[in-house]
Amino acid sequence: MIKHRRFFKEQVTFNNLLEIDDPKILYKIHMNHRLNYLKDTATGRFIEEITLKNINFLTHYNNSDLIQYFLSNERLLKKLIEKIKDENVEIRYQGISLLLELINCCKDIVNNIII
């Protein structure tokens, strides 16, 4: 078995912190994670520039959909704030990490618009 497949099967676990139930959004989250993994580790040195641009386009497109979904879903935003205020340090850490990921998605969108 290829190492990256084993990595996703054995080591990566998805933590649905906010209980996202939209299958399209979950699919985009998983796709972005896999694309970024492949771009950063598995194929980083070996892919052509056009392939890299396509991967970046797909992640940008997915990020814009993810941000739109989170900003339009008030229930999820309230849950995220609750997680950040939680007494459990692990849950608070996961909530802050998710917020930082959303902020990074926003930065990615803004940077790609400017460029």
What pLDDT tens digit does each residue of the chain (115 aa) get? 456 566 666 666 656 677 888 899 989 988 888 888 777 776 656 777 888 888 888 888 898 898 899 889 899 899 889 989 989 998 898 889 889 988 888 887 777 665 5
Residues 70 and 59 sit within 8 Å (Cβ to Cβ): no
Question: Which residue, among 26, 18, 29, 21, has the nearest Cα to 82 in the 3D structure?
Answer: 18
User: Nearest-5° angle of CA 48, CA 54, CA 60?
Assistant: 135
The one-letter amino acid code at 87 reads E
